[in-house]
């Protein structure tokens, strides 16, 4: 049976991560660590999260070894993205502006060369 002991600061960090982490997987892992600290067993956590016991055990090990950073996914290999960071930020800005049709806006920016 794995046990996790948390300080109040660690509990608060995990609560914040459970509420506002960027990915569902990080939020799920934070919740698993919190529940383990409350006394839930690996088989119970496995049922709750529908994950293998070994997976849950690895989440807990990663927490104990690396802290909150250990709950994040590692970078995935693969081809680099097609858009530059500048282009990505322009798209984010465009998405924040309400418009009935986004396609003409993006085509206009493409013609200006802003997204290359």
Residue with token string 């939020």: 27
What's the rounded Cα separation, in Å, for the pair 55 and 47?
Answer: 12
Count of other CB atoms within 10 angstroms of residue 60: 20
**Same domain flag for 64 and 86:** no
**Same domain flag for 44 and 98:** no
Q: Which of 13-22, 56-65, 93-102 has the lowest mean pLDDT?
A: 93-102
pLDDT band (50, 70, 90) for residue 28: very high
**Same domain flag for 57 and 88:** no
**Same domain flag for 84 and 57:** no
At 20 the pLDDT is: 92
**Same domain flag for 50 and 89:** no
Question: How much is the pTM?
Answer: 0.68
35-57 pLDDT tens trace: 999 999 999 999 999 999 999 99
pLDDT band (50, 70, 90) for residue 115: low
Please check whether residue 88 is in contact with residue 82, taking contact to mean a CB–CB distance below 8 angstroms.
no
Residues contacting 83, CB < 8 A, separation 6+: 91, 115
Measure the CA angle with vertex 20, ends 90 and 88; round to 5°.
10
At 50 the pLDDT is: 96
């Amino acid at each position: 049976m794995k046990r996790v002991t948390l300080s109040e600061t660690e509990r608060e960090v995990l609560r914040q991560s459970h509420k506002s982490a960027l990915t569902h997987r990080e939020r799920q892992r934070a919740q698993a660590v919190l529940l383990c600290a409350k006394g839930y067993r690996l088989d119970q956590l496995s049922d709750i999260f529908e994950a293998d016991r070994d997976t849950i055990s690895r989440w807990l090990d990663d927490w104990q070894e690396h802290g909150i950073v250990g709950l994040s996914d590692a970078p995935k290999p693969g081809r680099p993205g097609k858009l530059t960071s500048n282009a990505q930020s322009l798209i984010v800005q465009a998405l924040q502006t309400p418009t009935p049709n986004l396609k003409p806006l993006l085509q206009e920016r493409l013609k200006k060369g802003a997204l290359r």
